[in-house]
């Protein structure tokens, strides 16, 4: 699975309220949630993001509550991948559950906002096309790739029963 997109940089400790504000949790609509993604910390984020773009962050991305709304809003905004030095454990699992791939990479600080990236999930390879650099990340496990390609855990389970 190879993903291409432009980087959107964020710092450490981006919590689920930063990703999607609690006032929007009465909706399950991914398009609506996507339109409100990151508005608390970057009100213009949704104006700059394009389908397939990639979030690059520091440590502890997705800390806070256990709501699945956060990764749903990222997908709804068009984000194809989140790269961070570390993730909150429940956020990591929620991303897989909703079909949003995530990678742990210690070299995210070498990536700048708006850099064009090409990411090979199965190889754990991030190519920064803008800077002509490559970085290693944890490889995305094949069973998780299956879940993501199915559209999330529930759809994967339904497909397995067939």
Mean pLDDT of 113-121: 97
Q: Which residue has the higher pLDDT, 146 or 81?
A: 81
When pLDDT is averaged across residues 88-109 and rounded to a whole number, the result is 94
Question: Tell me, what's the pLDDT at 147?
Answer: 84
Name which of 46, 31, 36, 44 is nearest 16 in CA terms.
Answer: 36
Q: Are 63 and 20 in contact (CB under 8 A)?
A: no
**pLDDT, position 154:** 81
Residue 7 · residue 135 · CB < 8 Å: no
pLDDT tens digits, one per residue of 37-88: 999 999 999 999 999 999 999 999 999 988 899 999 999 999 999 999 999 9
Instruction: Give me the domains of the chain, ranges plus CATH numbers.
Output: 2-161 (3.20.19.10)
């Amino acid at each position: 699975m190879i993903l291409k997109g432009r980087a959107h940089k964020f710092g450490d400790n981006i919590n689920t309220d930063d990703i999607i504000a609690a006032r929007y949790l009465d909706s399950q609509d991914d398009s609506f949630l996507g339109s409100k993604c990151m508005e608390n910390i970057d009100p213009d984020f949704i104006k700059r993001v394009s389908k397939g773009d990639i979030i690059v962050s520091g440590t502890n991305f997705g800390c806070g509550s256990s709501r699945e709304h956060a990764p749903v809003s990222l997908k709804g905004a068009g984000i194809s991948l989140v790269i961070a030095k570390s993730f909150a454990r429940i956020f990591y699992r929620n991303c897989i559950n909703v079909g949003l791939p995530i990678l742990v990479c210690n070299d995210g600080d070498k990536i700048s906002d708006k850099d064009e990236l090409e990411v090979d999930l199965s190889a754990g390879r991030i190519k920064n096309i803008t800077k002509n650099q490559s970085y290693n990340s944890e490889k995305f496990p094949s069973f998780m790739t299956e879940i993501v390609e199915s559209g999330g855990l529930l759809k994967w389970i339904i497909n397995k029963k067939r």
